[in-house]
A and B are shown apart, each in its own frame.
Chain A
Amino acid sequence: MAIVPMKHMELYGLVRHRSSFLSELQRLGLVELVAPAEEEISSEPGEELRNQLDQIENRLAEVNRVLAICERFAPRKPNFIEQFAGMKTVLTWEEQQNYLAEREKLEELSSELFKSENEYARMEQEKVQVEREISQLRPWIRLDLPRHEWKGSTNIQVLLGSIEGSLSVFTEALAQEEITYSYQELGAYESRLYLVFFLLRKTRAEEILKNKGFVPTVPEVPTGTVQEYLDFLVKKKTELTEKLEAVKNTIKRIAEQHQMFETFYDYWHNLKLQVEANRQLLMSKDVFALEGWVEAEKADRVKKVLEAMGLPHYVLFRAPEPDEKIPIAMKNSTIITPFETLVESFSYPRQDEVDPSSAIAPFFFLCFGIALGDAGYGMLLALICSVLLWKMTMKPNGRKMAGMLLASGLGAVFVGLLTSSIFSFSPYKGIFSFVESPQILLIVSLGLGLVQLYVGTLISAWMNIRDGRVADAIWKQGFWLLFLTGILLTVGAPQLGWEQYALHIKYGTVIAAALLIIGNTRGKKGLLSKLMAIPGGILNIYGSVGFFSDVLSYSRLMALGLSGGVMGSIINMFVRMTWGVPVIGWLFSILIFLFGHALNMGLNVLGAYVHSSRLQYLEFFNTFFEGGGKPFTPLKIENINIFLKKEREV
């Protein structure tokens, strides 16, 4: 249970050395820089700094474009786990340095890639154009008249076009005017009939046809017959397709170097962070000043590293002032650390609060255990998470999450073994069974809730005592717990066989309630304001309803454990039923077992995680924790794509 103590750091050095200092601090990753107060900033960031940033941003944008093109032409397929955890590239330090040394190769490859991509886009457009021409010529394919004949002769007019509907309308109209004509049908295409009319010139034929709805069209053929031109186009299309494939392969070949691009992306990204940090420096003509926070324990190490640089500087560490806002980092033992992820995704503690991780850990362990409630599922979950932790490269958050689920899976193993439930089979007699005695399960769930909320209230009392407000702890939390216990005993006395004490308990409860009301008037000056505080005190008493409804909320653990258990035994029943079927029964029953339990486990793990976290956030934190601290974010090297196998020794 610990919020890491911080030390304030001030560093002075020469302006011309500032990049070295920043780079070293970034590599260390131990110092959070603080922007100087508004009124202390003497000048705008210099021209030089802005240029440098622009340059880096351009580089970053370029590599980003390269990576986007690589992803488009040669997408890397994430495996099942990577879909959840994201894709990472793992390099050794040497590999990374080798890549970074080949700046020219990067430039060369990127420009080749951009050229190829442009070419690809151009040819793709051309191909679309050709395809459109081909589809426009399709209806005319049976027109065997070459292009130069379409003009007709002195007396004969050649009219190309299409009609909709029946041809007889047109022929009859021509016949009515007694016009000599001839025509050739070229075939129907998309509900239009394409044809060519041969008409005597100097008649009204064309006009009549147009009036009836004939649409004259001249296909775009430069020379020769339609068929010849079409053949040419199809050949061109095939060529383009081949060329496109070739360019695509070139791009794919370049995309094989994605590790290099990613390395540079990360490099420039981190360089950008470092250069941006310049904004947090105070600078005079020759000297810069830097303010920041560092974990108290690590201060010496920072000091040593700075000294080892051999550059003139002056560094000063001091403890934070009482009202100074410090950034929050949590530190816990190895077993508790994974549970920090639950706190982080709620909110970081404020500096005057406690780190609730270690209070959460045992309760989350049990809540998750009851909600999942099966040793088989728990074991499987724990195994999966151990394999992930062992084999996968993950960011610290991912590791914490996997560790948390690993521990929680063991919680389910614990509960499952106690109640004898392994994949919903019950090989021996456990202390009780979820499915057979749900009442006990309900009592256990509520009991766990009661204990956890008491613990929360005690932590709240402890915080008061720590801060020297012992009276508050007694008046607020002490009598509160007394009052709640009184109510519980009043209700529970008959069950416990304590009837003879019933009256004492009742008086005790009433006295505790009275003390709570009096407690609310503490600190108020004058009789009137003391009296005014009494309704508030009564409202506090009413708060016990809220407390017990919070306890009732823990009944969800019973519901989750029970529905999972029943579902599991239904699956097992189907397995047993199909097992009896001759010949292939065993196959089906194995399939049902695997598929059914996989599905049931997935849903139950999800439910157990969601509801156990909810119980911590809404019910448990309600008693003592608000959060709202600012997380500690040191200037450090961020891994976006690239993870190093071994960190370089400092």
Chain B
Amino acid sequence: MLGSFYAYLGVAIAVLFSGYGSAYGVGLAGRASAGVVTEDPKKFGQTLILTALPGTQGIYGFVIGMLMVFKFAAVPGPIPVEAGLRFLGAGIPIGIVGMLSAIAQGKVAAAGVGIVAKRPEEAAKGIVYAGLVETYAILAFIISFFLYNAINI
């Protein structure tokens, strides 16, 4: 029983925190974008790209969570406590780093929306800045993935 609880908790942490962070980040960038579009509706396309960027962390978390679900759903019977704890550990990096980096990325993307408003020809640079923040979510995703990959039940 306890094993299953830990495993479920691992999935919950991976999906919940990264999802929260992405929602927050996309929300920040989305508000800034909406402000620009009220002035100039033609900038929808460029602002959309910036708004979508902080959304990836939620997807990384979801991918990890889904993979974990597949893995323990394939095993009949209860999950051993040790395996459960491993699932929990694997979920933590992408959960926590995903959340924090998505929020930070949302802030950078919102500032990037300012570039779109004032100097639309330089919008690509705003996208690159926001992309830099993503690095750390990617690193966490890779570690979460390899931790997950090492679990055998």
- Residues of A that sit less than 8 Å from B by CB: 78, 82-87, 345, 438, 442, 553, 555-556, 558-560, 562-563, 566-567, 570, 602-603, 606-607, 610-611, 613-614, 617-618
- Per the bound structure, the CA–CA distance linking A570 and B139 in Å amounts to 22
Which A residues are CB-close (under 8 A) to B132?
614, 618
- Residues of B that sit less than 8 Å from A by CB: 42, 44-46, 49, 52-53, 55-56, 59-60, 62-63, 66-67, 124-125, 127-128, 130-132, 134-135, 138-139, 141-142, 145-146, 149
Q: A438-B145, A438-B149, A567-B59 known; A555 and B138 CB under 8 Å?
A: yes
List 16 interface pairs A-B (beta carbons < 8 Å), by A numbering.
Answer: A78-B42, A86-B42, A438-B145, A442-B142, A555-B142, A558-B142, A559-B145, A563-B60, A566-B66, A570-B66, A602-B52, A610-B53, A610-B130, A610-B131, A611-B131, A614-B131
Which B residues are CB-close (under 8 A) to A83?
42, 44-45
- B128 touches which of A558, A559, A606, A613 (Cβ 8 Å): A613
**Contact indicator A610/B142 (Cβ below 8 Å):** no
Chain B interface main SS type? helix
Q: Nearest-CB distance from B98 to chain A (Å)? A: 11
- Per the bound structure, the CA–CA distance linking A617 and B132 in Å amounts to 11
**Contact indicator A610/B134 (Cβ below 8 Å):** yes
- Per the bound structure, the CA–CA distance linking A562 and B134 in Å amounts to 15
Q: A438-B145, A563-B60, A570-B66 known; A606 and B135 CB under 8 Å?
A: no
- Per the bound structure, the CA–CA distance linking A560 and B146 in Å amounts to 14
- Per the bound structure, the CA–CA distance linking A563 and B132 in Å amounts to 18
Which A residues are CB-close (under 8 A) to B42?
78, 82-83, 86-87
**Contact indicator B125/A345 (Cβ below 8 Å):** yes
**Contact indicator B63/A563 (Cβ below 8 Å):** yes
**Contact indicator B134/A611 (Cβ below 8 Å):** yes
**Contact indicator A567/B63 (Cβ below 8 Å):** yes
**Contact indicator A607/B56 (Cβ below 8 Å):** yes
Which A residues are CB-close (under 8 A) to B63?
563, 566-567, 570
Which B residues are CB-close (under 8 A) to A567?
59, 62-63
**Contact indicator B138/A560 (Cβ below 8 Å):** yes
Which residue among A555, A570, A606 has the maximum number of chain B CB atoms within 10 Å of its CB?
Answer: A606
Given contact pairs A603-B59, A613-B128, enumerate 10 new A-B contacts (beta carbons under 8 Å).
Answer: A83-B44, A86-B42, A345-B124, A563-B60, A567-B62, A607-B56, A610-B127, A610-B131, A613-B131, A618-B132
**Contact indicator B141/A559 (Cβ below 8 Å):** yes
Q: A83-B45, A438-B149, A570-B63 known; A603 and B128 CB under 8 Å?
A: no
Which residue among B60, B132, B138, B146 has the maximum number of chain A CB atoms within 10 Å of its CB?
Answer: B138
Which B residues are CB-close (under 8 A) to A84?
45-46
Which B residues are CB-close (under 8 A) to A603?
52, 55-56, 59
Which B residues are CB-close (under 8 A) to A606?
49, 52-53
**Contact indicator A559/B131 (Cβ below 8 Å):** no
**Contact indicator B55/A559 (Cβ below 8 Å):** no
Which B residues are CB-close (under 8 A) to A617?
128
> Which 7 A-B pairs give the minimum distances between C-beta atoms?
A84-B45, A610-B131, A83-B45, A559-B138, A345-B124, A556-B138, A566-B63
Which A residues are CB-close (under 8 A) to B46?
84
- Per the bound structure, the CA–CA distance linking A558 and B60 in Å amounts to 13
Q: Nearest-CB distance from B151 to chain A (Å)? A: 14
Which B residues are CB-close (under 8 A) to A558?
142
Which B residues are CB-close (under 8 A) to A613?
124, 128, 131
- Per the bound structure, the CA–CA distance linking A566 and B63 in Å amounts to 7
- Per the bound structure, the CA–CA distance linking A87 and B40 in Å amounts to 13
Which A residues are CB-close (under 8 A) to B145?
438, 559, 562
Q: Nearest-CB distance from B97 to chain A (Å)? A: 12
Which A residues are CB-close (under 8 A) to B149?
438
- Per the bound structure, the CA–CA distance linking A501 and B55 in Å amounts to 49
Q: Which residue of A lies closest to B137 (CB)?
A: A559
